[in-house]
Amino acid sequence: MVLLGIILLLLGAGLGIAAFLGVRDETGTVQLQALGFSRDSHPLELVAVGAIAMLLVALGWALVAAAARRRARIRRDEREAERLAGLERTAEADRLEQERRFDDASLRDEDLRSRESRLDEWAEELDAREREVARLEDAYKQRVDPSVADVVTGRAEGSVSEGTAHWAHTTPRRQADDNTST
């Protein structure tokens, strides 16, 4: 494109010089009639008017081309801005989704901690109840002699009928608890 532009510039300059040299020695006038007007002009003046007309055409063409480039650049910038806005919307939606997931995970963690603390409280209550039951069993054993049922279930040893029944030091339940804790 640049090479074609240089060739056209040189061609136009050469034609302009040729026209100038061709009419330089002319002394007569030329009568022009256009659009209802009439004028007597020198040939050199006609060459100058032609050059000015060509300059105006070239300037007009340059302005049209510049406007077309500017419109193309504006359209390209608008498309790029739309693309960037779409990417920003997508990124914002992804960020909000990630925040929502973190919030959900946080709520689940809080819920799990709450449930864990409730389970710990229940376990402490159960341990306290088991200690109370063990204390009450010990108090009961001190007041009452073992029965046949106590011997059969393993809470007592010996024979009730022979009078040798005595309370076992550990009950089967306590033995199971002792076995699981060790």
Cross-strand pairs, 30: 41
Longest CA–CA separation in the chain, Å: 166
pLDDT higher than 80, residue 71: yes
Number of domains in the chain: 1
Q: Please indicate, yes or no, if residue 15 is contained in any of the structural domains.
A: no
Condensed to tens digits (0 to 9), the pLDDT of residues 1-24 reads 456 566 766 677 777 776 666 666
Q: Please indicate, yes or no, if residue 177 is contained in any of the structural domains.
A: no
Q: Quick check: helix, strand or coil at residue 171?
A: coil
Condensed to tens digits (0 to 9), the pLDDT of residues 150-176 reads 888 888 888 877 878 877 876 555 555
State residue 176's pLDDT score.
Answer: 58
- CA 13 – CA 51 distance, rounded (Å): 10
Q: Please indicate, yes or no, if residue 139 is contained in any of the structural domains.
A: yes
pLDDT higher than 80, residue 100: yes
Q: Please indicate, yes or no, if residue 3 is contained in any of the structural domains.
A: no
Q: Please indicate, yes or no, if residue 178 is contained in any of the structural domains.
A: no
Max mean pLDDT range (17-21, 38-42, 67-71, 122-126): 122-126
Q: Quick check: helix, strand or coil at residue 29?
A: coil
Q: Please indicate, yes or no, if residue 96 is contained in any of the structural domains.
A: yes
State residue 27's pLDDT score.
Answer: 66
Q: Please indicate, yes or no, if residue 51 is contained in any of the structural domains.
A: yes
Expressed as residue numbers, the domain containing 55 is: 23-170
Q: Please indicate, yes or no, if residue 104 is contained in any of the structural domains.
A: yes
State residue 38's pLDDT score.
Answer: 79
- Which pLDDT band holds residue 131 (cuts at 50, 70, 90)? very high
pLDDT higher than 80, residue 182: no
Torsions phi, psi for 102 (to 5 deg): -65, -40
Q: How many residues does the chain have?
A: 182
Condensed to tens digits (0 to 9), the pLDDT of residues 72-91 reads 999 999 999 999 999 999 99
Condensed to tens digits (0 to 9), the pLDDT of residues 46-69 reads 777 777 878 777 878 778 888 888
